[in-house]
Every structure is written in structure tokens, then in C-alpha cells.
Chain A
Amino acid sequence: MSKRLLVRFVSLFVVTTMLLASLAGAVVAQDEVVLTFGISRRVDTLDNTATAFSSVEVIVGHVFDTLVKQNPLGSFHPALATSWSVNDDATEYVFELRDDVTFHDGTPLNAEAVKYTFDRIVHPDTKSQMGFSFIGPYEESEVIDDHTIAVRFRAPNAAFLDGLSHPQLGPVSPTAVEALGADWGFSGIVGAGPFMFESYTPDTEVVLVKNPDYNWGDEAVFGITGPTALDRLIFKILTDPGTRLAALESGEVDMIDNLPGLDVARLQEDPSFAVSIYDQAGHGYSLMFNHQKSPTDELAVRKAIAMSVDLEIMQDIVYDGLGYKPCSALTASMVGWTDVFCHVNPYDPEAAGALLDEAGWVMNDETGIRERDGVPLVVRHFGADRPLGNATAQFLREDLGNIGIDFELNISDFSAYITNVVAGEHNTQQWWDTQTDPDGVFRTLFHSSNAGGGSNRNNYISETMDNMIDAAVGISDQAARIAAYAEIQQILADEVVMMYLNDPVVTYAAIPAVQNVTILGGGFVPDFYSATMDG
């Protein structure tokens, strides 16, 4: 072959290949339905059973199906479990599983796989965080037959169905977990959900693809049962609010969460975007009082603080006008919510001042700070350096200064902050949480088992309260359980165990083509299984 001929031959080959490749590319690109979601929070791991972040649920919920689905809050639907029964004191649950479900790797989803998942969550090596909370006082699982499983608890656990509805307890493929070892949750995850894992670039994106064999969707929740209409679901991790909004406005993502508060009104007026706002479930923004440290160990001081903060102005200034005035450790959309706190502790700075006078904290007119026996009334507040937390703390300092309390700000990086508050150095610290069952909220914040460095940084230790929380979670009857939670909220209000600053909303903005997104988790969890991209 002459050199010239060779050159011709090669160029012809190259050109043909390029043409074919571009054609193929065009065909694929036209057919693919892709939805890209800009998520505001970071990912620690994609291991659903181990993650410490509630936001990871938004992503892994598409890969891991759950035994039951919950929507709206307090209403449970069959999913991987077709039916279930629970004994009277809520210590044993028996589930019948679907017999036609396989994980993405072909492993059958049976009672053995569910047992494997639960046992793995309580194993110390898993270092499970949210899953560990959701599974509660788990004792054991018993495989009764291939598709029947009994789950037993050391103590009553009426909150278990709620826990089960979260993907943190969604069954994992035992074969895949064993095969991937330490790379599970990083280079791969295998569940039985409507989407399959394709790739994960830490701090950048998670790409999921359609599970074409998916045939066990819950029609009552999603309106469909078969495979999803989306070929690809991409989560772009965009933690900077301005960047996230710019990515939406420049067309690089189709939907985002957590809009910058000041942009909500502008986007609502813009016809090229659809804004949706949901009340966030669980617990909102709040302030914890350390009951083991003076002066917040005094009821008069706690009550005076709770009564001298103008929450309505705070909402406008600190929370950009979004959210609601809070009246409980529960947000208003939660089962069992009462507004007793607002009746017991209304905004009344004068009455608050009188309370402090009565307790012997007298105003020193020279310093503007109250004193008792020569000791000034200093409340030491600890916070991690974050914009919202800092704005909140400054607002509190202003309002509390007006009644003669020196609200001392100690703001530092997260690791120094957490070391201090775990050691109990604080009088006050802020809290935020999202949950879907009242037991989770009360247990996290007020049960003495979580005091002394755990999540109860109120360091509130009360046998009465422990007993009430433990009793309430064992009541299977919904009305009786709600009554028990009303009593708990009465005590929390009377003793001003902590105070509440704002019941937040969850905001989303999307291009109008994005339709039929199901919002679960009481507003916090967008589910794209039923989503469509019109036009």
C-alpha cells in the first residue's frame, strides 16, 4: 500500500467513525429524559444505613426502597412490605414482604436480606448514625419464612413504622455490601429502588439511572407503579446559595432546594420558574438552655429569656420573613403538636423584667446588666460560625440586653464549638432538626439518656420526663399517643426547658417543565420517582 493511499484510507476511516459517533450521540441525547437537581447540603457517605446527614436521604431514597411509605405524616402505606402487624406494647412487628422484588444486582430481596440490613445497622463497625436512631431499641430480627420477618425491640417502639419509612432503614443488597467492603457507599450502593447508582464524585455530583425492572412502586403515594419516566437523575451538590440560584437561572439544573430567602419573592413573580414552599416537619430553629449550669438552671431566668425575644421581628430580620412563629418543640405540621408554650410564655419584656426582679436579679444602672450578690447576669452562648446562627445570636443579644441580660457570644469554628458544648461549657446553644415522628424529637432533646454530651444539650435530666417519653412511644393507639404528647408539651412549657425561635419552611424552585415531583418527609424530601419533564 502506498503512503498516500494509507493516508486516504485512514482519513476516510476517521471521518466515518466521527460521523457515526456524532449520530449515535445525537440519538441517545434526544431520547434521554434527564432531571438535574441542585442540592444545597453536603454528602458524607451514600451508605444509607450509616449516614449522619438527613439530606443524604433525598439522594439515597431513590436507590433504596423502604418497607413502608409515609405520606402525609402519620399515614403509612405498604411498599416492600405488603402488610404488617404489631403487638400491643409495640415491641414486636411482623412484616409480610413482596415476593417479586430483586436488588439492582439481581440478589433477591427476602426476609434474610432485611435481617442482614437491620443487624448491620446496630453493629458497631457500621458506625450508623441516623439509621441507628431510627431503629430505636432494636433487639433482633427473626426470619419466619422466606418472605416473613419478625422484628423485636428491647423496649416499646411505636415510632418504628416512621423509622422504616426512611431510606436509612431501606434494605441493602447483602451480596453488594460484602463485595464492596470499605468502598460501599463511596464507589457503589445497591438497593431495590426505582433508580440505580451510576457514579459519585465527592462534593460534586451523584448520577443515578433508571431501574428498568422496577415494578413495585406505591400507587397510593406516587400515582404510578412501573419504571420511572426519567432515564437519569443527577444531583449536583451546590452548597453556595448564590451559585445554586445561578445554576438554575442559567439552565444548568432544573430544580433547586433551599432558595436564598431574599430571592423567594423575586422568583415567585418570574414566570420562568415555579416556586413551592412546604412547612418543615419535626423541629425548627430553637435555643437550648443548659439546666446544669448557672444561671440557666433557674426557671426565672429561662422564662424571662423566653418572654423577652420579639419573635415576629426576628422572623423578618433573621429569617427573611420566612417561616412561622413557633409554639412547641414540634413544628405545627407534626402529629401531636400543641401551642401551649405560646400561651404560657407570651412575648412580654416587662413581665420578664419583673420575674428577674423577683428572683433577686436587680438592674445595675451603671452597667445596664442585672446583678445578684455582686454577680452579673451573664448567659454564655456558644455557636458555630455560620451566617444564620450568627445573625440569630446577635438578635438575641440585642433583645436580651434590653432587659439587662448580658448574652455573651462565643462563636468559633465547628470543632471548637462542639467540643465546648459537649463538655457542657454553654448556657445556651442553637438547635435545628428535621424529624417525622414526635418520639424522635422529644427523645433527642429531652431524654436523660441523651444528656451529658449527647443530643440533649439542654442537659435536662428528669425521671418524670424519661418515663413519659418512654411510655408515649409504647402506645399503639394514635389518639392516646397524641394525648400523651400534649402532656409532655405542657411540662416543657411550664418549665421552659428550651425556647423556640422559628418554624422554618422548605423552599424549592424549578423550571416549569418539571412536574409531578412527590414531596415526602413532611416537606424535606423531594422524590423524583413520579417526576416528569414535559416539553
Chain B
Amino acid sequence: MSKYLANRLLQTIPTVFLITVVVFLMLHLSPGDPVLVFIGDKQSTPEQREKIREDMGLNRPLHVQYLTYMGNALRGDLGRSLQTNVPVMSQIVNRLPWTIELSFAALFIASVIGISVGIIAALYHNTIIDTLAMAFALVGISMPVYWSSLLLILFFAVRLRVLPAIGQGGVERLILPATALALVSAGSLARMVRSSMLEVLNQDFVLTARSKGITERIVVIRHVLRNALIPVVTILGLILGYTLSGAVITETIFARLGIGQKYVEAVVQKDFTVVQGMTLFIAMMYVLVNIAVDVIYAFIDPRIRYD
């Protein structure tokens, strides 16, 4: 296992390197000029624009820019934002913990709701309970995050005043955004768990287990669920990857610090240094989450071994 892990970790290096090259090229080849974005609608002379371009280091050849950037990045210096002069590292360090907090809270809520609804729906297959559970899942998937976010704010923060609407810090500021973010994933999880359970429930070894006289509870938990969870873990990994990088709307509506919102803003503003720094981090997180998912497979399914 440890050899496998070391191998996988080594493989991340070329992956992350390739991602930085692609993102760097995409940024520089897409239309739009960071100098003009910086000046915006303010008065400026061509000399000032040239001076700013020089200060941003954009007058040098592309490969020099990339190599300088990577050289500094390897020494831990991700530079400063072209648009606001804020150090990129501090932007990431200030934001990442909040994004991680939100992601894991959303993942937790989504798993609790999604897996339990899915199990119940499968056990009561083709009954009114199944129909209701799947209707719930459908609503969860279909409801846009910005809408459910606003509804949650309106009801719990404005009307009842029991939970705060904005900001981060403390469980009370986590509940609403995490729930809003979890609803979509909970819906798709519930459907996934249900269909995967139904598939396993129909297999011969379940019949064998039942015929041995094991109680239904143990059949479900030990035999069915454990087998049904393997595809679910894949989905959980995807959800985590999505929430870690894609909680843009939730972060904006709840005015939470986070990297998703900043990332999109930086792309729009052509803030090259911020986009590159955050890309490095997000790429590494994706890769690590994927490794974690593979490792978890082995724990759930004894048939999977990494030797």
C-alpha cells in the first residue's frame, strides 16, 4: 500500500506541472489585457500603460514569464495580485480553510441525507415512500443553488432570525451555506444509493445470506450496503472536488471567504498571478482527493488491493 501511495504521489508532479502549463497558455492566449482591466475607465497616458505593463512583467517573452513564475512558485513565492497587489499566498491561506470547511460540511450533510434517503427508498422499493423519496431527490437536484440559498436566508435569517445570513466562522454561519450546497448533491447521492442498493439486493449472495437466517438488518448493513457503497464513494469524491473548487455561487450569496469566488473573479479580471496560484492549489487538491478515493475503495471492498 505504501509503495502504491508513493507511486501515486510521484505521478501527481507531472499532472500538476501540465495543468500549470495549460492554464498559463490559456490565460495568455485568450483575449483581454490585464493592463487595460487595471486601468479600466480611468484616465491614462500610453506611457503610464507601458510602465504598468513593465511592472506586471508582461513585456517579457512568454517562456521567460512562465519560468520566472514557476521558479518563484517552487521557492514558495506565488507573487502578488496584478490587480490589487495583495500577496497571492495570503489570499489562498486566508480563503482555503473556509472553502475546505464548507466543502466537508456540505459533503457531510449530503452524505447523511443522501445515503439515508437512498437506503429507505431502496428498501421500500415501489411503495409511496420510494416515490416521495425520489421526488425529494428530484427537487434537490433541480433546485438551483442560488435559489435555495436565497430561500434559506429569507426563512432562517430574515424571517426567523435564528441563523446569520453572511460571513464565516462558527457552526452557526456554516449551517445555511453548507445545506444549500448539500441539497443538490444529496439528491443525486440518494438516486445513486437507491439504484446501487437495488442492484445488489437482487444478487444471489443476498439470497444466500437471507437463507442462512441472518436478520434483515445485518443483511442490509453488512452485505448490501457495503457492496452498494463502492460507486457511491466515487460520487462522494466528485462532490468533494466540485465543492472545493466550485462553491462560487454559495460563497457569493453568503458573502463567505473562499477560493471559488476569487478564482472566477481573477479569471475575468485577467489577474494572471492569482489564477495561476489558485490553479496550483486546486489541481493538487483534486489529485489528492482522487488518491483518497482510491484508498477508501480498498477499505470498503476487500477485493480491491493495491500491492
User: Across the interface, do B153 and A246 meet the contact criterion of CB distance under 8 Å?
Assistant: yes
A243 part of interface (Cβ distance < 8 Å): yes
B139 part of interface (Cβ distance < 8 Å): no
User: Across the interface, do B157 and A246 meet the contact criterion of CB distance under 8 Å?
Assistant: yes
User: Across the interface, do A422 and B38 meet the contact criterion of CB distance under 8 Å?
Assistant: no
Given A124-B48, A202-B84, A204-B257, A236 contacting B43 (CB threshold 8 A): no
User: In chain B, residues 157-176, which have Cβ atoms closer than 8 Å to a Cβ of chain A?
Assistant: 157-158, 161, 164-167
Q: Point out the residues of chain A lying under 8 angstroms from B254, CB to CB.
A: 243
- Name the residue of chain A whose CB is nearest to the CB of B44: A454
Given A202-B86, A203-B261, A243-B255, A252 contacting B43 (CB threshold 8 A): no
CB distance from B216 to the nearest CB of A (A): 47
A44 part of interface (Cβ distance < 8 Å): yes
User: Across the interface, do A130 and B42 meet the contact criterion of CB distance under 8 Å?
Assistant: yes
Binds A, one of B27-35, B128-136, B205-213: B27-35
CB distance from A241 to the nearest CB of B (A): 11
Binds A, one of B13-21, B186-194, B262-270, B293-301: B262-270
- Name the residue of chain B whose CB is nearest to the CB of A250: B157
A246 to B177, CA, bound (A): 14
A402 to B269, CA, bound (A): 36
CB distance from A121 to the nearest CB of B (A): 13
A396 part of interface (Cβ distance < 8 Å): no
User: Across the interface, do A455 and B85 meet the contact criterion of CB distance under 8 Å?
Assistant: no
* Of the residues A45, A237, A243, A413, contact of B165 by C-beta under 8 Å: A243
Q: Point out the residues of chain A lying under 8 angstroms from B80, CB to CB.
A: 182
User: In chain A, residues 221-257, which have Cβ atoms closer than 8 Å to a Cβ of chain B?
Assistant: 236-240, 242-243, 246-247, 249-252
B253 part of interface (Cβ distance < 8 Å): yes
A239 to B46, CA, bound (A): 32
User: Across the interface, do A414 and B157 meet the contact criterion of CB distance under 8 Å?
Assistant: no
Q: Point out the residues of chain A lying under 8 angstroms from B83, CB to CB.
A: 44
- Name the residue of chain A whose CB is nearest to the CB of B258: A203
- The A interface, classified by DSSP as helix, strand, loop or mixed, is mixed
* Of the residues A132, A186, A247, A433, contact of B255 by C-beta under 8 Å: A247
CB distance from B247 to the nearest CB of A (A): 14
* Of the residues A132, A414, A455, contact of B37 by C-beta under 8 Å: A414
User: In chain A, residues 106-155, which have Cβ atoms closer than 8 Å to a Cβ of chain B?
Assistant: 124-125, 127, 129-130, 132-133
How many chain A residues touch B (CB < 8 A): the figure is 46
B9 part of interface (Cβ distance < 8 Å): no
User: Across the interface, do B43 and A133 meet the contact criterion of CB distance under 8 Å?
Assistant: yes
A418 part of interface (Cβ distance < 8 Å): yes
Given A44-B83, A252-B164, A414-B269, A127 contacting B32 (CB threshold 8 A): no
A450 part of interface (Cβ distance < 8 Å): yes
Q: Point out the residues of chain A lying under 8 angstroms from B33, CB to CB.
A: 415, 418-419
* Of the residues B36, B87, B165, contact of A422 by C-beta under 8 Å: B36
A414 to B264, CA, bound (A): 13
B40 part of interface (Cβ distance < 8 Å): yes
A444 part of interface (Cβ distance < 8 Å): yes
A220 part of interface (Cβ distance < 8 Å): no
**Contact count band on B:** 35 or more
* Of the residues B86, B164, B270, contact of A250 by C-beta under 8 Å: B164
A132 to B45, CA, bound (A): 11
A218 to B175, CA, bound (A): 46
CB distance from A284 to the nearest CB of B (A): 14
* Of the residues B45, B86, B165, contact of A454 by C-beta under 8 Å: B45
CB distance from A473 to the nearest CB of B (A): 14
User: Across the interface, do A419 and B36 meet the contact criterion of CB distance under 8 Å?
Assistant: yes
A443 to B42, CA, bound (A): 11
User: Across the interface, do B268 and A250 meet the contact criterion of CB distance under 8 Å?
Assistant: no
Given A124-B51, A416-B31, A455-B41, A247 contacting B36 (CB threshold 8 A): no
User: Across the interface, do A201 and B42 meet the contact criterion of CB distance under 8 Å?
Assistant: no
- Name the residue of chain B whose CB is nearest to the CB of A417: B32
Q: Point out the residues of chain B lying under 8 angstroms from A182, CB to CB.
A: 80, 85
User: In chain A, residues 412-468, which have Cβ atoms closer than 8 Å to a Cβ of chain B?
Assistant: 413-416, 418-419, 422, 431, 433, 443-444, 450, 453-455
B252 part of interface (Cβ distance < 8 Å): yes
Scoring B85, B161, B164, B269 by chain A CB atoms within 10 A of each residue's CB, the highest score goes to B85
- Name the residue of chain B whose CB is nearest to the CB of A205: B167
A422 to B31, CA, bound (A): 13
A185 part of interface (Cβ distance < 8 Å): yes
CB distance from B258 to the nearest CB of A (A): 9
A52 part of interface (Cβ distance < 8 Å): yes
A115 to B268, CA, bound (A): 38
* Of the residues B34, B42, B51, B86, contact of A52 by C-beta under 8 Å: B42
B116 part of interface (Cβ distance < 8 Å): no
Q: Point out the residues of chain B lying under 8 angstroms from A45, CB to CB.
A: 84-85
Additional A-B contact list (14), CB under 8 Å, known A239-B255, A433-B41: A45-B85, A52-B42, A132-B43, A182-B80, A186-B84, A240-B253, A240-B255, A243-B255, A249-B158, A413-B268, A415-B32, A418-B37, A419-B32, A450-B43
3 closest A-B pairs (Cβ-Cβ)? A415-B32, A250-B157, A249-B158
